[in-house]
Structure 1
Amino acid sequence: MLILLASPLAAGVVYEIEVTDHAAGEPSTTELAAEGKMLKMSIAPGRTSGRGEMIFRGDRREMVVVDHDDKSYVVMDEATAKQLADQLGGVSDQMKEAMKRVEEQLKNVPEDQRAMVEKMLKERMPNMGGNAPSRPANEYKRTGQRATKAGYPCVRYDVLRGGEKVREMWVTDWDNVEGAREVREAMLDMADFFEQIMSSLSESLGGLGPAFGGDSPFDGLREMDGFPVVVREFDGGELESESTLRSARRRTLDPADFEPPAGYKRRSMGPQ
């Protein structure tokens, strides 16, 4: 009994996912561990980042990003997002004020030279005019195409943004994947949290540019209502990366698995 109290372990589920970056060539493996309202994704080393983890604590409404190479982590919650948004909003206001001064100065420049300077500014800083278009919303198109992927019966969805295909997802029913029905709400909760934070940061930038950030790892799950077995990312019509579910198994998880490692330093977000 004392041992059980000292080690409050819980049954969870772990998904092993193979990720292939077609620019790098070599596949890597990442894990998604889930238990209750908690999720943890390992982040394989990439071309621009090192080893890490992303932990979502739905019970605390926070996301923790761990950098193993630097032995540090950052925490993003609603309060931190508001603070960062305020900082970005201040930078946005300063940039807008600077552009106003530039525009005032350009009024004294001959028309042909003014046109040349304005063209150069737009090329170097396309979003500085304050009227940059917002990032188009994703459109999820069920194609009706069916196939067996990694042993699961799937249907294909295409994700379009501004009419361009950016993602292809092969989705199976939640009940077909071990534990998926149980962790569905945690995945959807993380997607909603991610969207809320990114929207807040985007609004802080005003008209200076497209929406801040990108898609949640679980973007589109609500629209497709299924577990993604294969996800293929496209950029400019070219296949960029591919992720495939390789295994799903039950595992007893320690609550410490959903905390930053002991001894790691917490770092603040935003301008240092």
Structure 2
Amino acid sequence: MRTSGRRIVFLVGLQGVAWLLPAGTIIQQEEREPGTSKVKAQATISIDAGKLRMEQEKPGEGKSVMIFDQSKQVVWMIEPAKNSYMELTAAQVQQMGGQMQQAMKQMEAELANMPPEQRKMVEQMMKQRMPAPQAEKEVTVREKGQGEKVGPYTCIHYEVLTSGKLTREVWTAPMDQTHLGGAEFKTFQALGEFFGKLSGQAPKGTWELSGMNQMQGFPVRVLEYEGPRATSEWMLVKAEQRSLDASLFTLPAGLKKSSMEGMSRE
């Protein structure tokens, strides 16, 4: 009887310890053709306070992995098929942002010396290939409705207008419905700030949504527009709390370091 009593105390103790184990959040997303069930990409995001891992897979393109460590201010982009990775630090992002700004100034100086018709043609090409920095865009967020259902989530519906044109519709759900705490949500914001100097170059994901700081909750559905047509739809498929292994957020051993030019681009 004494042994059984010890076992009961031990099991009760374990149950208490379980509540103290670090719990992260896993989010599964899909990118679909708008209005259809055709999947263009699948993404699994594992997130703990200050750390984030995103695994994305596209049909015919294979798998890619991105790891963000907020305390180290570093992003690793991994291509498992090539057994290689690229490292991007905050200092490098700052430098690249400065180089982009310098290149834009030089281009503007050259444009000023061009004939009007040629200048207009080059400016149109630049707009298509080089999106304007986010700071130069006027972003307006308008609430369209509350209590709308997206799967199991009860949402607020927003419209995002960039320079007066509809660019996104976003449905957000309360944090408790998506199992995100304040620390996890701040990690998304930190990643957005990390890539802030490279507007338009950040990996696709909810952390890059313009106007997100003006919305309540976390996006569970996003429609992206080009002109009047919806071109992409992101859906949150599943969100759950789970204890996450620390190795998820570290760079695997044995990978070959590659330069940015050596990595494949989308």
Question: If the length of structure 1 is used for normalisation, what is the TM-score?
Answer: 0.71
Q: Report what 2:175 is aligned to.
A: 174
3-state SS of the aligned residue for 1:185? helix
Distance 1:24 1:50 in 2: 22
Distance 1:159 1:175 in 2: 24
CA 1:93/1:227 → structure 2, altered by over 3 Å: closer, same or farther? closer
Pick aligned residue for 2:42 from 9, 19, 29: 29
The aligned counterpart of 2:69 is 57
Q: How does 1:140-155 map to 2 (within 5 A)?
A: 140-155=141-156
Give the corresponding residue for 2:121: 123
Query: 3-state SS of the aligned residue for 2:58?
Result: coil
| Percent identity of equivalent pairs | 24
- Report the CA distance between 1:30 and its aligned residue: 1.3
Q: Which runs of 5+ in 2 are unaligned?
A: 1-20
CA distance in 2, matches of 1:152, 1:167: 19
**3-state DSSP of counterpart to 1:69:** helix
In the aligned structure 2, how far is the partner of 1:254 from the partner of 1:179?
18
| Kept after mapping to 2: 8 A contact 1:17/1:244 | yes
- Runs of 4 or more, structure 1, over 6 Å off, are none
Q: 2:206 aligns with which of 199, 211, 217?
A: 217
Q: Distance in 1 between matches of 2:121 and 2:71?
A: 45
- Whether the 8 Å contact between 1:22 and 1:241 is mirrored in structure 2 is yes
How far did 1:94 drift? 5.9
- The 1:11–1:126 alpha-carbon spacing in structure 2 relative to 1, beyond 3 Å, is same
1:261 alignment partner AA: P
Structure 1 position 84 matched with structure 2 position 75:
no
Deviates more, 1:84-93 or 1:160-169: 84-93
CA contact (8 A) 1:84 1:270 kept: no
Structure 2 counterpart of 1:228? 219
Structure 1 residue 258 displacement after superposition: 1.4
Deviates more, 1:51-60 or 1:262-271: 262-271
CA distance in 1: counterparts of 2:75 and 2:102, whole angstroms? 24
Counterpart residue number, 1:20:
32
Contact 2:178-2:240 at 8 Å conserved across structures: no
CA distances 1:54-101 after superposition (whole Å, capped 9, x unpaired):
22211112222222333322222221123334544665566567667x
Shift of the 230–133 alpha-carbon distance from structure 1 to 2, 3 Å rule, reads closer
- Asked if the contact 2:43–2:57 (Cα under 8 Å) also holds between the matched residues in 1, the reply is yes
State the Cα deviation string for residues 93-137 of structure 1 (Å, max 9, x = none): 66567667xx4xx8xxxxxxxx5xx52353145478xxx976413
Q: Which residue of 1 aligns with 2:164?
A: 163
RMSD of Structure 2 on Structure 1 (CA): 3.4
How do 1:102-121 residues align onto structure 2 when only pairs under 5 Å count? 103=113, 118-121=116-119
- Structure 2 length-normalised TM: 0.72
- The equivalent of 1:259 in structure 2 is 250
| Equivalent residues of 1:180, 1:227 under 8 A apart | no
Distance of aligned partners of 1:123 and 1:97 in 2 relative to their CA distance in 1, 3 Å threshold: closer
Distance 1:44 1:70 in 2: 15
Letter paired with 2:49? G
Unaligned runs of 5+ in 1: 1-8, 107-114, 199-210
Please give the per-residue CA displacement for 1:208-265, whole angstroms capped at 9, x wherever unaligned: xxx6646863233321131111111111121111111121122232222113333222
Match of 2:81 among 56, 69, 74: 69
Q: Tell me if the contact between 1:194 and 1:216 (Cα under 8 Å) persists in the aligned partners.
A: no
